[in-house]
Amino acid sequence: MGWSITIGRFWGTAVRIHVTFLIFLAWIGFSAFERGGIAAARESVLFIVAIFTCVLLHEFGHILTARQFGISSPEVTLLPIGGVADISKMPDKPYQELLIALAGPAVNVVIAAALLLGVDVLHPQALAHLDDPKGGLIERLAVANLFLAIFNMVPAFPMDGGRVLRAALAIWLGQTQATKIAAAIGQAFAFLLGFLGLFGHPMLLFIAFFVFFAASGEAQMTFVAQTARDIRVGDAMETRITAIDRGATVGDAVNILLATPQDSFPLIDHGGALAGMISRADIVEALKSASTETPIAAFAHKDFSTIDPGETMDKAIEKLNESPAVGVVGQDGVLLGLLTRQSLAEVMLIKAARPDWRFSPR
């Protein structure tokens, strides 16, 4: 995520703080300072930092559980609305998703229990005043953790409860059906929130929108992941593409750029083997810095990614996340076609319109 600062690396995952979070922290500090001076500002900022440390531990509950199932998470980012861990892929089995989703709120329950136990040992009488806003930092932090656990178990995406619900349903109904039902429940919940928002706090309306779109986004993501497993790269690739000859000049490349709407051009040698990949932007860049007679090959990327036509599309999605175009290459290295995000979107549209569509071999 852009606009984030890495503050450290824990258990192999980079912890990043989004700039908006720092602004949020400054705003909390400033408004507390206006009310109660430097001491109030310090306490408020300390409290927020403590809560977000718990949010981070919650995320690490997900991250470390996911790792048990071979799913890595290179980074986690703190935003004012909470933490976002980028989990590299969806777990294959519903019970794995169930455990990963439950691990986050479980961490908050454990923290709350530990804090309350600590308070109980130190000041037994304090527990009677847990809901007192003037209570000590520890008591308020315990309450905040209980709130985090309960809030996250609300059965609507993107909350963990939505995933728990989907995973539990998927054990009986399968992923696709379970996601549909969980997304529908999430959206019904969003409507309820929105309805309450109309008469109550406008913030609820905002959260309702967020939950509604997260629910439909989740349904879409699952559809794509499921469908991709059944489609072969050879069926989805673009075959009517223009390739640039390895010996072509910058001038030739500009002419080809003008003649086609393509964004990425494969560079091929005489035998038809893929030798590089060049984008429209690269060609324009070449035109700026070199003469039209310069060979275009010097500006092509040699670290292009390729895929076998027999692979399934879920493998291709991972590659398309890293580069805008992937060369589809046969055993002999000969270019057979090109796979782009556009071609992925097209097969998904076709499968959404006609789930029983059979791609004919090309």
Question: With respect to Zn ion, which residue has the nearer C-beta, 139 or 160?
Answer: 160
Residue 327 bridge partners (DSSP): 306, 338
Residues 97, 139, 160, 282: which binds Zn ion (CB under 5 A)? 160
Question: With respect to Zn ion, which residue has the nearer C-beta, 102 or 278?
Answer: 102
Report, in Å, the least distance between residue 222 CB and Zn ion: 18
Can you say how many angstroms the Cα of residue 107 is from the centroid of all Cα atoms in its chain? 22
Q: Is 82 in the site for Zn ion (CB under 5 A)?
A: no
Question: With respect to Zn ion, which residue has the nearer C-beta, 100 or 300?
Answer: 100
CA–CA dist 97, 62 (Å, integer): 10
Considering CB under 5 A, how many residues would be counted as binding Zn ion? 2
Report, in Å, the least distance between residue 152 CB and Zn ion: 5
Q: Are 232 and 311 in contact (CB under 8 A)?
A: yes
Report, in Å, the least distance between residue 259 CB and Zn ion: 50
CA–CA dist 277, 285 (Å, integer): 14
Q: Are 291 and 250 in contact (CB under 8 A)?
A: yes
Question: With respect to Zn ion, which residue has the nearer C-beta, 104 or 197?
Answer: 104
In this structure, the number of other CB atoms found within 10 A of the CB of residue 25 comes to 17
Report, in Å, the least distance between residue 128 CB and Zn ion: 31
Q: Which residues 6+ apart lie within 8 Å of 194 measured at CB? A: 204, 205, 208, 209, 212
Report, in Å, the least distance between residue 107 CB and Zn ion: 9
Question: With respect to Zn ion, which residue has the nearer C-beta, 104 or 234?
Answer: 104
The encoded tokens of residue 79 equal 């935003």
Question: With respect to Zn ion, which residue has the nearer C-beta, 56 or 267?
Answer: 56
Considering only the stretches 102-110, 125-133, 265-273, 310-318, report the one whose residues sit in contact with Zn ion under the rule CB under 5 A.
102-110
Question: With respect to Zn ion, which residue has the nearer C-beta, 104 or 276?
Answer: 104
Report, in Å, the least distance between residue 153 CB and Zn ion: 9
Q: Is 104 in the site for Zn ion (CB under 5 A)?
A: yes
Question: With respect to Zn ion, which residue has the nearer C-beta, 162 or 266?
Answer: 162
Considering only the stretches 156-164, 204-212, 241-249, 305-313, report the one whose residues sit in contact with Zn ion under the rule CB under 5 A.
156-164
CA–CA dist 290, 253 (Å, integer): 13
Q: Which residues 6+ apart lie within 8 Å of 34 measured at CB? A: none
Question: With respect to Zn ion, which residue has the nearer C-beta, 82 or 234?
Answer: 82
Residue closest to Zn ion when measured from CB atoms: 104
Report, in Å, the least distance between residue 139 CB and Zn ion: 23
Report, in Å, the least distance between residue 61 CB and Zn ion: 7
Considering only the stretches 37-45, 98-106, 114-122, 315-323, report the one whose residues sit in contact with Zn ion under the rule CB under 5 A.
98-106
Considering only the stretches 122-130, 154-162, 205-213, 305-313, report the one whose residues sit in contact with Zn ion under the rule CB under 5 A.
154-162
CA–CA dist 276, 182 (Å, integer): 44
Report, in Å, the least distance between residue 62 CB and Zn ion: 6
Q: Is 218 in the site for Zn ion (CB under 5 A)?
A: no
Q: Are 236 and 347 in contact (CB under 8 A)?
A: yes
- Order of all β-strands in the sheet with 274-279: 244-245, 264-268, 274-279
Binding site for Zn ion (CB under 5 A): 104, 160
